[in-house]
Amino acid sequence: MTYAVEVIGLTKTYSDVTAVDNVSFKLEADKIYGLLGSNGAGKTTIMHMLTAQQFETSGTLRVFGEHPYENNHVLPQVCFIKESQKYPDNYNVRDVLAIAAELYPNWDQSFAMSLVEAFQLPLKRNMKKLSRGMLSSVGILIGLASRAPLTIFDEPYLGLDAEKRQLFYDRLLEDYAEHPRTILLSTHLIDEVGTMLEHVLLIHRGRLLLDEETDSLRGRAFSVSGPAAVVDRFTAGRTIIDRQQLGGLVTASILNDAGAASGQSEAESLGLTVAPVSLQQLTVYYTRLHNRDASSNKGAEQ
Amino acid sequence: MGPAMDDTRPIFLQIAERIEDDIIEGTLEEEAQAPSTTQIAAFYHINPATAAKGVNLLVDEGILYKKRGIGMFVATGARQIALTKRKEQFYEQYIVSLIREANRLGITTEQLSDMIKKGAVQQ
């Protein structure tokens, strides 16, 4: 198995904050990964370390088998598109694309030009005069046309309308089908991009909570609603990931540990209302569950 | 084919079901070429690997077969295999929940049976 990325025990601490805490994962070549997590979870710090823009405090980091820092074998194979990208003063769109074309060995100029047209980018306009959405479009264009073996997008769609975001997803999937490569996409919009991701990594408070195939998470959980006593009897001994109460009525979400349908039909036969849990909702529940664990541990220590 | 994917069930299963639907309805005939993984991925905006997993499930079930260098084709007898599978699922998916809801509303088995007959006539 060839891995685009391997990290073992990756940790990044600032004076008194642990931004990334003992994270280990592997990215297989030519797969699309989603890096999910709430704000401040440590996603961007991880991406900065993968691209040698920040140093790890400890742990092992390999990109295409080598450490990326000042590494001429590795860095030309990596394209990192970040939301806060700065461009030199007085550069226009054409200048930026010319630099990108020199930087990335797999750059496809005709693909780039077709994206300029699709995203309606003004080639002669100064970068400083571009709208937020146009700046995002330039990043997306570079990320796609670079065809870098490892392409990392950090929330690349700020200011982009729904139609342009769809354009990004469509072109990404089309081009990926023709030219497979490893893509790491950090995002909040799980509902929008979930079907593109083969695998997801969920980060929370610097730790890795989930590292799984996306499809195996779909249908992982379901919710049951009904009278509190019946719900509690059904959920006893099962893994509850969320519980909401309204008067005597309870809605609980539980993990589908044993076999897909069995738990659900048992709940239905008890007269409970069964509903599926979406991928987005599941990640929210996992994150909350972890918050709860963290605060109860803290309680125990005190 | 049909509407977008449902995010609460594995996508590869839904892909397999959509292709089976097309075979059952006759949109996709036996010995006809099935859509490629790339076409399926582009149509539903899904990851090509996930589309491939759905297609491979149907290969394992003998519904599709691969002609090397050309693509996937619908096997002879595929419609029957798909129908048998769906009829087995029909009881779990529809009858069990129908009876459960009828019980909840106090509808007797006889009344339910009359409703089914009436519905069948109107259809």
Rg (Cα) of chain B, in Å, rounded? Answer: 18
Q: What is the ipTM of this complex?
A: 0.81
With bands split at pLDDT 50, 70 and 90, how would you rate the model's confidence at B97?
A: confident
Using the beta-carbon criterion (under 8 Å), do A277 and B47 form an inter-chain contact? no
| Minimal-distance CA residue of chain B relative to A260 | B9
Q: Which residues of chain B are within 8 Å of residue A255 when distances are taken between CB atoms?
A: none
- CATH-assigned architecture of domain B11-78: Orthogonal Bundle (1.10)
Mean pLDDT within B61-77: 95
Q: Which residues of chain B are within 8 Å of residue A195 when distances are taken between CB atoms?
A: 5, 7, 11, 44-47, 50
Q: Mutate which of B6, B8, B94, B105 to test chain A, going by most A C-beta atoms within 10 A?
A: B8
SS3 A247: coil
CA distance A80 to A150: 8
Using the beta-carbon criterion (under 8 Å), do B9 and A218 form an inter-chain contact? yes
Burial class (CB in 10 A: 0-12, 13-18, 19+), A175: middle
Of B8, B42, B100, the CB nearest to A278: B8
Phi, psi dihedrals of residue A55, rounded to the nearest 5°: -90, 145
- Interface check for B28 against chain A (CB to CB < 8 A): the answer is no
Dump the DSSP string for A170-222: HHHHHHHHHS--EEEEEES-HHHHGGG-SEEEEEETTEEEEEEEHHHHTTSEE
Q: Which residues of chain A are within 8 Å of residue B6 when distances are taken between CB atoms?
A: 276
CA distance A39 to chain B (A): 23
Using the beta-carbon criterion (under 8 Å), do A173 and B47 form an inter-chain contact? yes
CA distance A259 to A15: 46
CA distance B14 to B11: 5
Mean pLDDT within B2-10: 81
Query: Could you list the pLDDT tens digit for every one of the 302 residues in chain A?
Result: 679 999 999 999 998 899 999 999 999 999 999 999 988 899 999 999 999 999 999 999 999 999 999 999 999 999 999 988 889 889 999 999 999 999 999 999 999 999 999 999 999 999 999 999 999 999 999 999 999 999 999 999 889 999 999 999 999 999 999 999 999 999 988 888 999 999 999 999 999 999 999 999 988 899 999 999 999 999 988 888 899 999 999 999 998 865 545 688 788 888 899 988 888 889 998 888 887 766 665 544 44
Residue where the block lists tokens 């690349």: A156
- Residue B78 has a pLDDT of 96
**Domains of chain A as residue ranges with CATH:** 3-216 (3.40.50.300), 217-301 (3.30.70)
Of A174, A218, A277, the CB nearest to B11: A218
Cβ atoms of residues A19 and A45 within 8 Å: yes
**DSSP type of residue B94:** I
Dump the DSSP string for A87-101: --TT-BHHHHHHHHH
Cβ atoms of residues A204 and A41 within 8 Å: yes
State the DSSP H helix or E strand holding residue A36, giving kind and residue range, or none if neither: strand A32-36
Per the document, the length of chain B is 123
CA distance A215 to A291: 25
CA distance A8 to A59: 6
CA distance A10 to A212: 19
Using the beta-carbon criterion (under 8 Å), do A218 and B10 form an inter-chain contact? yes
Residue type, B28: L
CA distance A207 to A21: 5
Q: Which two tokens stand for residue A113?
A: 């030009």
Number of other CB atoms surrounding residue A240 within 10 Å: 17
Q: Which residues of chain B are within 8 Å of residue A279 when distances are taken between CB atoms?
A: 7-8
Number of other CB atoms surrounding residue A296 within 10 Å: 9
Q: What are the boundaries of each domain within chain B?
A: 11-78, 80-122
More confident residue, B9 or A60: A60
Cα distances (Å, whole numbers) of residue A120 to A110, A138, A298 = 15, 10, 52
- Residue A301 has a pLDDT of 43
pLDDT mean across residues, chain B: 92
CA distance B102 to B106: 6
Is the pTM of the predicted complex or chain greater than 0.80?
yes
Task: Show Cβ contacts of residue B123 under 8 Å, excluding neighbours closer than 6 positions.
Answer: none
Torsion angle of the four alpha carbons B80, B82, B84, B86, in this order, in degrees rounded to the nearest 10: -150
Q: Which residues of chain A are within 8 Å of residue B44 when distances are taken between CB atoms?
A: 195
- Residue A296 has a pLDDT of 64
Interface of B with A in 5-24 (CB under 8 A): 5-12
Cβ atoms of residues B48 and A177 within 8 Å: yes
Interface of B with A in 31-60 (CB under 8 A): 38, 41-42, 44-50, 53
- Residue A299 has a pLDDT of 46
